[in-house]
């Protein structure tokens, strides 16, 4: 004897109406026959037999409303059936939903675990000046030399030598097996990269700019970032998505925008956005070696800037660590990518007025090194964040929330945010200037936080 239970016909159904019986007591049924029509809040659905047998008894009459899911509605006898399983005694299988929250304390999110092994620049190392562009190229070349599974793929990365010349010379050194020009097909080659990473390779996927990566967003978020979790730790996706991010110059709304906050929100990704050449090199090498998907946000305008880089055989930096680039006691200025240049300029202006700003380059946006920021605020009691992205749900908004949460009693002024304006990027030169953060705005915000207007 098997009890036929009121079925759940949708993810949210708790009860339903037994609208109509298609069988009566004594009827023989086989798998697939319609037994009844069930009415739910969404639709009327037919309910099929899954086993052969004979309807022995109908327990719930036609028209009954509010029949709870799992309530026995009929009994089925199965001829000659070797009743070999508890699920045949369906009603006996109770739904055991544990409520661990009542017994155990709620799980606590671990402290950010993005700190890979790596060094800051050791003292006494010789420094050479190079552009961010060359630092990025060297990082890729060095990693490709040490690991044959690393390859570079993207639009114009090979024969054209990179739309922004980041991959200059790589085709000549590594050949077309490892430096691969793709068709213009972002979703396709981003997904192909994810598959190659599942297949044991370490792809570097270059987006000509991150504006075009929106076409590949599903592959980055749903396929690359989540598969480790969804596989219970079996899989993993060691891939780097890199390219220029943030406003360029005079290219208007579709080609001039900062996606930092978008990617920084996604669990399962690491997000890096450096300013200096040494960080670009040390962090890109770390990103290529990292077993997780890493979004590496560069900046087109910064590519040509030159900075000192340590002359070392293997210079790898830890992901997830901000850097205090200038000590100060009056106010903390926080930025990443090209905005680091702005806070450096602002600090010089402020210094002339006797205000000593402490400058923090976030370098990594996920995991965000909030410890370094909070420590600084405990010392300076004031903070201004600067970024080119839009203000709503921005990196600055996150930092302000963390500071208010973790250093509220230390604050002598509200945290302030300087961001790109809340508009699509205009084309006209004057409007574009207005849409972007400026040194003047930063200086004014800092003085306002110090009540010195």
Partner 1 sequence: MARAEAAAAAENDVEHRPANGTNQDPAAAARLKAFYRDMLLIRRFEEKAGQLYGMGLIGGFCHLYIGQEAVVVGMQAALKPEDQVITTYRDHGHMLACGMDPGGVMAELTGRASGYSRGKGGSMHMFSKEKNFFGGHGIVGANVPIGTGLAFANRYKNNGAVCLTYFGDGASNQGQVFESFNMAELWKLPCIYIIENNQYAMGTAVKRSTSEVHMYKRGAAHNIPGEAVDGMDVEAVYAAGRKAVEWARSGNGPYILEMKTYRYRGHSMSDPAKYRTREEVQQMREQHDPIDTVGVRLVRDGIVREEDLKAFDRDVRQIINRAAEFATESPEPGPDELYTDVLK
Catalytic residues: 186, 255
Site for partner 1 in 134-153 (CB under 8 A): 151
**Distance from C-alpha of 351 to C-alpha of 155, rounded to nearest angstrom:** 45
For residue 328, give the nearest of 200, 435, 156, 446 by alpha carbon: 446
For residue 363, give the nearest of 257, 288, 277, 449 by alpha carbon: 277
How many H-runs (helices) and E-runs (strands) does the chain carry? Answer: 13, 22
- 228 binding partner 1? (CB under 8 A): yes
- 391 binding partner 1? (CB under 8 A): no
Distance in angstroms between the alpha carbons of the first and the last residue of the chain: 85
Site for partner 1 in 296-355 (CB under 8 A): none
Which listed residue (26, 61, 79, 86) binds partner 1 by CB under 8 A? 86
Q: How many residues lie near partner 1 (CB under 8 A)?
A: 80
- 214 binding partner 1? (CB under 8 A): no
Q: What angle do CA 226, 233, 371 make, to 5 degrees?
A: 70
- Binding window for partner 1 (CB under 8 A); candidates: 81-89, 279-287, 310-318, 345-353: 81-89
Calculate Rg over the CA atoms of the chain.
30
Query: What is the CB neighbour count within 10 angstroms for residue 352?
Result: 7
| C-beta separation of 361 from 384 below 8 A | no
Which listed residue (194, 261, 284, 449) binds partner 1 by CB under 8 A? 194
Nearer to partner 1, 263 or 275 (CB): 263
DSSP 14-38: -EEEEEEES--TT-EE-TT-EEEEE
- Binding window for partner 1 (CB under 8 A); candidates: 58-66, 85-93, 356-364, 412-420: 85-93
Nearer to partner 1, 5 or 416 (CB): 5
- 90 binding partner 1? (CB under 8 A): yes
Nearer to partner 1, 227 or 370 (CB): 227
- Binding window for partner 1 (CB under 8 A); candidates: 167-175, 223-231, 336-344, 442-450: 223-231
- 217 binding partner 1? (CB under 8 A): no
Chain-centroid distance of CA 257 in Å reads 17
Q: How far is CA 152 from CA 20, 215, 221, in A?
A: 62, 19, 20
Nearer to partner 1, 28 or 127 (CB): 28
Site for partner 1 in 6-65 (CB under 8 A): 7-11, 13, 31-32, 34, 40, 42-46, 50-51
- Binding window for partner 1 (CB under 8 A); candidates: 56-64, 83-91, 166-174, 403-411: 83-91
Q: Least CB distance from residue 202 to partner 1, whole Å?
A: 10
| C-beta separation of 395 from 389 below 8 A | yes
- 419 binding partner 1? (CB under 8 A): no
- 117 binding partner 1? (CB under 8 A): no
- 69 binding partner 1? (CB under 8 A): yes
DSSP collapsed to 3 states, 76-121: EECCCCCCCCHHHCHHHCCCCCCCHHHHCCCCCCCCCCCCCCCCCC
Nearer to partner 1, 187 or 406 (CB): 187
Nearer to partner 1, 32 or 124 (CB): 32
- 72 binding partner 1? (CB under 8 A): no
- 196 binding partner 1? (CB under 8 A): yes
**Distance from C-alpha of 247 to C-alpha of 244, rounded to nearest angstrom:** 9
Site for partner 1 in 239-278 (CB under 8 A): 267-268, 270
Nearer to partner 1, 134 or 290 (CB): 290
- Binding window for partner 1 (CB under 8 A); candidates: 98-106, 302-310, 321-329, 439-447: 98-106
Chain-centroid distance of CA 364 in Å reads 12
- 122 binding partner 1? (CB under 8 A): no
Q: Least CB distance from residue 163 to partner 1, whole Å?
A: 19
- 77 binding partner 1? (CB under 8 A): no
User: In terms of DSSP H, where are the helices of 176-305?
Assistant: 186-198, 217-218, 227-230, 260-264, 277-289
**Distance from C-alpha of 450 to C-alpha of 411, rounded to nearest angstrom:** 11
């Amino acid at each position: 004897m098997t009890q036929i239970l009121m079925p759940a016909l949708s993810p949210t159904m708790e009860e339903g109406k037994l609208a109509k019986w298609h069988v009566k007591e004594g009827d023989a049924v086989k798998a697939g026959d319609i037994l009844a029509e069930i009415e739910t809040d969404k639709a009327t659905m037919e309910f099929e037999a899954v086993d052969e047998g004979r309807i022995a008894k109908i327990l719930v009459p036609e028209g009954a409303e509010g029949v709870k899911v799992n309530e026995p509605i009929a009994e089925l006898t199965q001829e000659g059936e070797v009743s070999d399983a508890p699920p045949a005694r369906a009603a006996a299988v109770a739904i055991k939903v544990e409520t661990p929250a009542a017994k155990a304390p709620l799980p606590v999110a671990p402290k950010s675990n993005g700190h890979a092994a790596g060094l800051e620049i050791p003292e006494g190392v010789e420094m050479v000046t190079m552009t961010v562009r060359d630092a990025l190229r060297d990082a890729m070349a060095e990693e490709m030399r040490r690991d044959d599974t690393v390859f570079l793929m993207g639009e114009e990365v090979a024969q054209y030598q990179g739309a922004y010349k980041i991959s200059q010379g790589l085709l000549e050194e590594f050949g077309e097996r490892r430096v691969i020009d793709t068709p213009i097909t972002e979703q396709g080659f981003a997904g192909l990269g994810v598959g190659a990473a599942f297949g044991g390779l370490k792809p570097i996927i270059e987006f000509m700019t991150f504006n075009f990566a929106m076409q590949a967003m599903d592959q980055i978020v749903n396929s690359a970032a989540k598969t480790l979790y969804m596989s219970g730790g079996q899989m993993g996706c060691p891939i780097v998505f890199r390219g220029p991010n943030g406003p360029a110059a005079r290219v208007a709304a579709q080609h001039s925008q900062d996606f930092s906050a978008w990617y920084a929100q996604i669990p399962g990704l690491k997000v890096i956005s450096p300013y200096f050449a040494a960080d670009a090199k040390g962090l890109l090498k770390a990103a290529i070696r990292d077993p997780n998907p890493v979004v590496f946000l560069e900046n087109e305008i910064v590519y040509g800037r030159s900075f000192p880089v340590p002359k070392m055989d293997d210079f790898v930096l830890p992901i997830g660590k901000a850097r205090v680039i200038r000590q100060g006691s009056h106010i903390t200025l926080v930025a990443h990518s090209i905005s680091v240049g702005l806070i450096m300029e602002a600090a010089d202006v402020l210094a002339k007025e006797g205000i000593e700003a402490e400058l923090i380059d976030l370098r990594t946006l996920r995991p965000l090194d909030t410890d370094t920021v909070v420590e600084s605020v405990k010392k300076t009691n004031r903070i201004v964040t600067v970024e080119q992205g839009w203000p709503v749900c921005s990196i600055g908004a996150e930092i302000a929330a963390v500071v208010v949460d973790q250093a509220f009693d230390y604050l002598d002024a509200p945290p302030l945010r300087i961001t790109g304006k809340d508009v699509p990027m205009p084309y006209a030169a004057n409007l574009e200037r207005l849409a972007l953060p400026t040194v003047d705005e930063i200086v004014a915000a800092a003085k306002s936080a110090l009540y010195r207007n």
